[in-house]
Amino acid sequence: MSRDLLYRSARQIAADVRTGKISAAEVARAFLDRIEATDGQLKAFITLSPIAEPPNPAGPLAGVPVVLKDNLCTRDVPTTCGSKILRDYRAPYEATVVTRLRAAGATILGKTNLDEFAMGSSTENSAFFTTRNPWDLDRVPGGSSGGSAAAVAAGQACAALGSDTGGSIRQPAALCGVVGFKPTYGRVSRYGLVAFGSSLDQIGPITRDVADAALLLQVIGGPDPLDSTSLPDPPPDYLNQIERDIRGLRIGLPKEYFGEGLDSEVRARVMEALKLLESRGATLTDVELPLTPYAIATYYIVAPSEASSNLARYDGVHYGHRTEASGSLIDLYARSRAEGFGPEVRRRIILGTFALSSDRIDAYYHRAQRVRRLIARDFERAFRLVDVIAGPTSPTAAFRIGEKAADPLSMYLCDVYTVSANLAGIPGLSVPCGFTSSDLPVGLQILGRALDDLTVLQVGRAYERETGPMTRRPPLPAPSS
Ligand code: GLN
């Protein structure tokens, strides 16, 4: 089996399947073999899917092997959210994005690991196991879509879907050396995405190049009568417009994204990438996002508040795990939840319930909502001066498994450059921009105006065009030590 196939673009695989050079079944077989050879070490998958013949062998994703973060509902296999409470949950319906992938001819290979209910930045909060970083198995892949990013980086899948509430597509993409895109809020239907923070959640692609991200977005995006927050207008043809000359493009560099806490090697790689864009005619301008120091605090009020409300439905009666212990109805709720939820999810439910409680709601939730509005205004002001904003996706490269697990606050600080895009609803892309001296990938983040997903993708593509396709591959399977 050719290793080349495992790293071929979705565009190429679909073209080869459409012209009959290779069959969808042969492609699927190659990727399943790769999963078998590597997933004992990588642990990206919670469930493998039964492979059905793709319904559309002429579609834009004909035969393209895609994996799904396990908070996207599928009918054929369980949707666990990385939680004991949903361990055996089988959704009675399928997420709109999954239906659209299948209609486009994609082959769904399986469901990938995540932090429980997408709460985390490392997959260490999964109730089942921690996914490894394919570049260094002792390190985290990032999170919460860590299984999806690791699988794409390791050639176990050509592309993946993740969800991003505060960075969960972009940060694992950065840490695994792949492309991750969080679209404008509303661009992609959330129907069938298990809700975490409904006003922040957005589904997006994880791929190995920007054009594939554009292709996937085109397939999954667009209005959906089943999600009232989905945008009414059809998305533009991203893929056909992806090539653009960046001469005259104004790139804003927020000084708040290059300050204390940023690893020096990450800073160096990101600056090299920005200088490259400058040498091709873009202009680099300093901009200010003065509310940045409040972004983490704001996010960690808004997201847990919405989570505490969204997760109220897991009560041992409607869904999922029910305690064996007998007692009153209240005991049933309390025990089922205590047995089913892990520590981080419990922490967030408690934080959110507190922030929404009648005598605290003004001091916490309402105030956070006002700051959220100001954060959005920071971006509106900056986007009067520049076309996109760029900086690092994550302050550090992949950290060691266990390094931050005991200190929730240090984990929350990983999200410092990503949460603002969710609070403001704007699109954000992470593109690989080189490696640290310990051979760990670094991600460049590009943020754009609301609804201007296209420009963000074009800038990412322009960078990629200059550097050429990534030829480095993760050392997998790794020799056993
Ligand atoms: N790391 C962030 C959190 O823990 C973001 C998670 C996400 O985007 N789903 O909430």
pLDDT tens per residue across all 481 residues of the chain: 466 999 999 999 999 999 999 999 999 999 999 999 999 999 999 999 988 776 788 999 999 999 999 999 999 999 999 999 999 999 999 999 999 999 999 999 999 999 999 999 999 999 999 999 999 999 999 999 999 999 999 999 999 999 999 999 999 999 999 999 999 999 999 999 999 999 999 999 999 999 999 999 999 999 999 999 999 999 999 999 999 999 999 999 999 999 999 999 999 999 999 999 999 999 999 999 999 999 999 999 999 999 999 999 999 998 889 999 989 999 999 999 999 999 999 999 999 999 999 999 999 999 999 999 999 999 999 999 999 999 999 999 999 999 999 999 999 999 999 999 999 999 999 999 999 999 999 999 999 999 999 999 999 999 999 998 889 999 999 876 5
Q: Is omega for the bond preceding 144 within 30 degrees of 0, making it cis? A: yes
Q: Could you say which of 83, 121, 145, 168 is catalytic?
A: 168
Distance 83 CA to ligand 1 centre (A): 15
Hey, which of 71, 114, 119 would you mutate to test ligand 1's pocket, going by the most ligand atoms within 8 Å of its Cβ? 119
Q: Closest ligand 1 atom, CA of 415?
A: 1
Please say if 144 is a catalytic residue.
Answer: yes
Give the residue from 303, 345, 436 showing the smallest Cα distance to 81. Answer: 345
Q: Could you say which of 9, 121, 126, 144 is catalytic?
A: 144
The predicted structure's pLDDT at residue 55: 74
Distance 213 CA to ligand 1 centre (A): 21
Distance 300 CA to ligand 1 centre (A): 9
Q: In the chain, where are the structural domains located?
A: 3-256+263-288+377-467
Distance 349 CA to ligand 1 centre (A): 14
Q: What are the structure tokens assigned to 282, written together?
A: 């873009």
The predicted structure's pLDDT at residue 326: 83
The predicted structure's pLDDT at residue 51: 83
Q: What residues line ligand 1, using a CB cutoff of 6 Å?
A: 118-121, 144, 163-168, 196, 303, 415
The predicted structure's pLDDT at residue 247: 98
Distance 344 CA to ligand 1 centre (A): 11
Q: Is omega for the bond preceding 477 within 30 degrees of 0, making it cis? A: yes
The predicted structure's pLDDT at residue 131: 98
Q: Are strands 45-48 and 159-164 parallel, antiparallel or unpaired?
A: unpaired
The predicted structure's pLDDT at residue 2: 61
Q: Closest ligand 1 atom, CA of 118?
A: 9
**How far is residue 125's CA from residue 260's CA, in Å, rounded to a whole number?**
27
Which amino acid belongs to residue 81? C
Q: What's the whole-model pTM score?
A: 0.98
The predicted structure's pLDDT at residue 3: 63
Q: Closest ligand 1 atom, CA of 344?
A: 4
Region for 243 from its dihedrals, namely left if φ exceeds 0, alpha if ψ lies in -120 to 50, beta otherwise: beta
Q: Closest ligand 1 atom, CA of 164?
A: 8
What CATH class is the domain 3-256+263-288+377-467? alpha beta
Distances from the Cα of 406 to the Cαs of 131, 272, 388, in angstroms? 17, 34, 36
Hey, which of 144, 345, 409 would you mutate to test ligand 1's pocket, going by the most ligand atoms within 8 Å of its Cβ? 144
Please say if 168 is a catalytic residue.
Answer: yes
Q: Could you say which of 9, 43, 69, 230 is catalytic?
A: 69
Hey, which of 206, 409, 415, 422 would you mutate to test ligand 1's pocket, going by the most ligand atoms within 8 Å of its Cβ? 415
Q: Closest ligand 1 atom, CA of 200?
A: 8
Hey, which of 70, 125, 161, 165 would you mutate to test ligand 1's pocket, going by the most ligand atoms within 8 Å of its Cβ? 165
Q: Are 322 and 336 in contact (CB under 8 A)?
A: yes
Distance 316 CA to ligand 1 centre (A): 25
